[in-house]
A = this chain, B = another copy of it.
Amino acid sequence: MNAINHTWLEADAKVLPATGPALFRGLSAQDMDTVYAACQSETYRDGQAVRRPDILGLVEDGALREDMDSDGAPHLFSLTFRGELLAPYGPRTRATRLHAIGATRLLTCERSTFCDLSLSIPRLRLNLLNLLHDQLDAARNWQLLLGRKTAAERMASLLYEVYERQGFPDKIAFGLNRAEIGQMLGLTMESASRQLRALEKAGIVSLPSRGTVCVVTPQRLLLASGDLPEQRRVA
């Protein structure tokens, strides 16, 4: 390793604890002040349409759903939770629509503002790049889910992933109905319902009310998702 100072892709620095959003990893408190001063925070009600940010959208609170129009009807495509970045859209991105799930706060930034910010805080660019990589990873994992998993494994995977991304809460508040869960998993409403009930009957989750799921035995949920390395079949 040479010691040249690269402003764009610098090595990891330890300035802030790794608690906050990944976008702000490694930023000093002073940097954060600069960022917040430059960005706008927008608030949305449950179900309200969200304007897609120019380049950067960070969910500060609540959650966002992204719906895609394919074959006529819109269908739920992805979720973005608190602390996560909205998937950016490139020049050739399919049209999707954003809506708030519950009361949601979104930190956004104009393209030009972000450019200025990233000039003074190079670390921001590195973080954005890493987040893009993460999103690519996530998309690939989802490809694995849709291409190679059974309905039961898909449901378990989705539940565990949401459980994990929401920080292992007592109850995960989806705000999604069976049809929407099915859309994410490439399943019908009926299949989604059946799989969810099967997990409930197995004692892995409980369904106290509509749109709410409690994970009772996380290990067994993870096991059911087929993502544990021990499950690999012998060649």
Please tell me the number of chain A residues within 8 Å of chain B, measured between CB atoms. Answer: 55
- Given known pairs A133-B88, A146-B146, the reply for A140 and B77 (CB within 8 Å) is yes
Which of A3-11, A39-47, A191-199 binds B? Answer: A3-11
In the complex, are the beta carbons of B90 and A133 less than 8 A apart? yes
CB within 8 Å of B: which of A45-70? 55, 68, 70
In the complex, are the beta carbons of A93 and B8 less than 8 A apart? no
A96 nearest CB neighbor, chain B only: B140
In the complex, are the beta carbons of A112 and B2 less than 8 A apart? yes
Check if A111 is an interface residue, CB within 8 A of chain B: yes
CB within 8 Å of B: which of A205-232? 226, 231-232
Interface centre among A77, A130, A132, A226 (most CB of B within 10 A): A132
Check if A135 is an interface residue, CB within 8 A of chain B: yes
- Given known pairs A133-B90, A140-B94, the reply for A71 and B232 (CB within 8 Å) is yes
Check if A201 is an interface residue, CB within 8 A of chain B: no
Check if A103 is an interface residue, CB within 8 A of chain B: no
In the complex, are the beta carbons of A146 and B112 less than 8 A apart? no
Taking the full assembly, how many copies of this chain does it contain? Answer: 2
CB within 8 Å of B: which of A122-162? 125, 129-130, 132-137, 139-144, 146-148
In the complex, are the beta carbons of B68 and A119 less than 8 A apart? no
- Given known pairs A92-B137, A94-B140, the reply for A72 and B8 (CB within 8 Å) is no
Q: What are 15 pairs between A and B in contact, CB < 8 Å?
A: A4-B116, A8-B119, A9-B55, A9-B114, A9-B115, A68-B140, A70-B144, A73-B233, A75-B148, A77-B143, A87-B136, A90-B136, A91-B133, A139-B140, A146-B186
Question: Footprint of B on A, CB under 8 Å?
Answer: 2, 4, 6-9, 55, 68, 70-73, 75, 77, 87-94, 111-112, 114-116, 118-119, 125, 129-130, 132-137, 139-144, 146-148, 185-186, 226, 231-235
